[in-house]
Structure 1
Amino acid sequence: MVKTEFSIKDLENLSSVKAHTIRIWEKRYHLLEPDRTDTNIRKYDLESLKKLLNITYLYKAGYKISKLAGMTPAQIQSLIKEDMEIHAATYGLEMFKSAMLEFDGQKFDETLKNLLEKKSYSDVYSKIFVPLLNKTGVLWHIGSIDPSHEHFISEKIKHSLILETAKLKKQIVEKDFPIFILYLPSSEIHEISLLYAHYELVSNGFPTLYLGPNIPIESLKHVQKQMPNAVFVSYFTIQPETENLKSYIDSFQEQVGSKNELWILGNRVRTFETKHKNIKLFEAIDHFKNHLKKSF
């Protein structure tokens, strides 16, 4: 069952406003009117949570809570749209979070459209989507949101990455670049970061072949036979396990060969070192982006 009832602790986790402050706002400004359990514990519905998120966004933007408490929902929405010009990142975070909680795909799409009129997709991804996904992961693990919320927002972001990359694909002019083949290793399912690496490659004009998740090394041999000068790109989030990294790279060297470069991003390689010259490790996506610009 999808979560539609929230505790004051859930509201604190979702809005970053302390429970003590929420209680003060209720008592002093009648901001929210929670129901109570038989044991007098507050419980809030989705509308109360949405109201708090909207008000929190404006409060963080500098508006006084005494003024916000007296405004209608329509007035608050109007003020949010006006303020978006100044605080685009905060606006995006709160609107995407609201879209997630409501399973509102249209709100997600409209928010992204508004942001892309002012910012590049790369900026939206790094300054809004990444913090949103990090926050969502924490909220899921502590039980303040349902797994379906996390899946919804993740799939919307993945879909936006695919759409934006497809737009850029149409603009690629043939150049004397190697083709980049993107894949995730066996049992690795965290695809969003690889999709963003794909977006960056395409936005820089590189030809690509996107294979997606769960690709065993032996499958790469078949691709390499048809594209002998390919550069392989992967993102290791949870797989391979740290203790298996060396054996994975050794298998790549044996089955694909040292003539092809393998670029690896992700948490798994942050403390890993290799002596193989064709293996390039990137601790962060910015290092990957900088390397693209310097190498070709």
Structure 2
Amino acid sequence: MAIKTKFSIKDLENLSGIKAHTIRIWEKRYNLLEPNRTDTNIREYNLNSLKKLLNVAFLYNNGVKISKIAALDEKETKAQIKKHAAVNKETRAITSLKTAMFEFNYPLFTKTVSELEESNDFRTLFFKVFIPLLEELGTLWHTGTIDPAHEHFISELIKQRIIAEIVALQKTEKPANTPTFCLYLPYQEIHEIGLLFAHYEILKANFSTIYLGTNIPLKNLKHVLKHHKDLIFLSYFTVKPEQKSIEQYLKEYGATIQNTQNQKLWLMGRRIRKTDSQILPSNVKAIRDHKDLIKQLNDLKK
């Protein structure tokens, strides 16, 4: 499949947050962008136009008048971006990461994240930059504004950063007699970033972990219990289990795992947020998001 390099005005609206009507006015009044036209006279924009609009949108959203932005040359534009980025680092970083995504530009991704890490810990970076970016990309993917290849590129790089943090934390020996978490994604679930960051937070809280990863049938959990007792299982439901209700999944969990009342299960993810906690067995806990997870881990330590 060809990678998307041409964009409609609706794509630009979705990516920049600037309304299509406003983009048209800026084109006419300030000659801001120069789109090509299709045979049917539809505007069509290239990657350079997209990158330019992302920069314009950043300055405009930071209070710079469009008339002033339009009058800037390339050097002056970079200077203005640098000035405002010093105050709005996270917003500028998200814009830079979008550019890195469309260019498949690993060095730009690394440079952007490294600059943020100079003044932010990894947890802050995840909450203020990675989560908003991923949520936006999810919407852009569903509307067809970006290709799956773009979303996969940036997601894999974020996963690599989380894994690097996990590896560093795993070098620290955990205290004896503390709970051990076994993390897994349900069968056919492959969206791993949420589970990886949960892994990072559990290790940061100084608990031991067993990480099974993606696409794990329930029967596989029984094998772990042959070697470890009284685990806390933690799973992350993004799109799976699809055809089954959460209630049905929990019944299968109870039938598969012996002594289920003593075998706790913590559930996270998009599908869990919509679940009525009243239907959950006493050994199952719904975790709203990663901030709630941090709170629950702190409570467990007490």
TM-score for the superposition, normalised by structure 1:
0.93
Summarize the alignment of residues 100-115 of structure 1 with structure 2, pairs less than 5 Å apart: 100-115=101-116
Opposite residue 250 of structure 1, the aligned amino acid is K
Tell me the secondary structure at the aligned position of residue 214 of structure 1. Answer: strand
Q: Are the aligned partners of 1:242 and 1:268 in contact in 2 as well (CA < 8 Å)? A: no
Identity %: 46
User: d(CA) in 2 for partners of 1:93 and 1:149?
Assistant: 14
Farther-moved stretch of structure 1 (75-84 vs 263-272): 75-84
The CA deviation at 1:247 is 3.1
Farther-moved stretch of structure 1 (273-282 vs 87-96): 273-282
Q: Are the aligned partners of 1:172 and 1:202 in contact in 2 as well (CA < 8 Å)? A: no
Which sections of structure 2, spanning at least 5 residues, go unmatched? none
Go from structure 1 to structure 2 and tell me whether the alpha carbon gap of 1:250 and 1:62 turns closer, same or farther (over 3 Å shift).
same
Farther-moved stretch of structure 1 (276-285 vs 188-197): 276-285
* Runs of 4+, deviation exceeding 4 Å: none
**Aligned match of 1:281:** 286
**Aligned match of 2:271:** 268
User: d(CA) in 2 for partners of 1:168 and 1:58?
Assistant: 38
Summarize the alignment of residues 130-145 of structure 1 with structure 2, pairs less than 5 Å apart: 130-145=131-146
The CA deviation at 1:35 is 1.7
Go from structure 1 to structure 2 and tell me whether the alpha carbon gap of 1:38 and 1:121 turns closer, same or farther (over 3 Å shift).
same
**Aligned match of 1:294:** 299
Farther-moved stretch of structure 1 (37-46 vs 6-15): 37-46
Number of residue-to-residue matches in the alignment: 296
Go from structure 1 to structure 2 and tell me whether the alpha carbon gap of 1:116 and 1:278 turns closer, same or farther (over 3 Å shift).
same
Summarize the alignment of residues 17-166 of structure 1 with structure 2, pairs less than 5 Å apart: 17-166=18-167
The CA deviation at 1:243 is 4.2
User: d(CA) in 2 for partners of 1:40 and 1:240?
Assistant: 45
The CA deviation at 1:239 is 1.6
**Aligned match of 1:9:** 10
Q: Are the aligned partners of 1:241 and 1:268 in contact in 2 as well (CA < 8 Å)? A: no
**Aligned match of 2:202:** 201
Farther-moved stretch of structure 1 (127-136 vs 45-54): 127-136
User: d(CA) in 2 for partners of 1:92 and 1:250?
Assistant: 44
Q: Deviations over 1:158-203 (max 9, x none)?
A: 1111112222223454343111111011111111111111111111
Which sections of structure 1, spanning at least 5 residues, go unmatched? none
Opposite residue 84 of structure 2, the aligned amino acid is D
The CA deviation at 1:275 is 5.1
Opposite residue 244 of structure 1, the aligned amino acid is S
The CA deviation at 1:212 is 0.4
Farther-moved stretch of structure 1 (241-250 vs 122-131): 241-250
Farther-moved stretch of structure 1 (84-93 vs 52-61): 84-93
User: d(CA) in 1 for partners of 2:174 and 2:141?
Assistant: 42
Q: Are the aligned partners of 2:247 and 2:280 in contact in 1 as well (CA < 8 Å)? A: no
Q: Are the aligned partners of 1:234 and 1:264 in contact in 2 as well (CA < 8 Å)? A: yes
Q: Are the aligned partners of 2:190 and 2:215 in contact in 1 as well (CA < 8 Å)? A: yes
User: d(CA) in 1 for partners of 2:77 and 2:177?
Assistant: 53
Opposite residue 77 of structure 1, the aligned amino acid is K
Go from structure 1 to structure 2 and tell me whether the alpha carbon gap of 1:263 and 1:104 turns closer, same or farther (over 3 Å shift).
same
Go from structure 1 to structure 2 and tell me whether the alpha carbon gap of 1:35 and 1:185 turns closer, same or farther (over 3 Å shift).
same
Opposite residue 260 of structure 1, the aligned amino acid is Q
User: d(CA) in 1 for partners of 2:208 and 2:125?
Assistant: 23
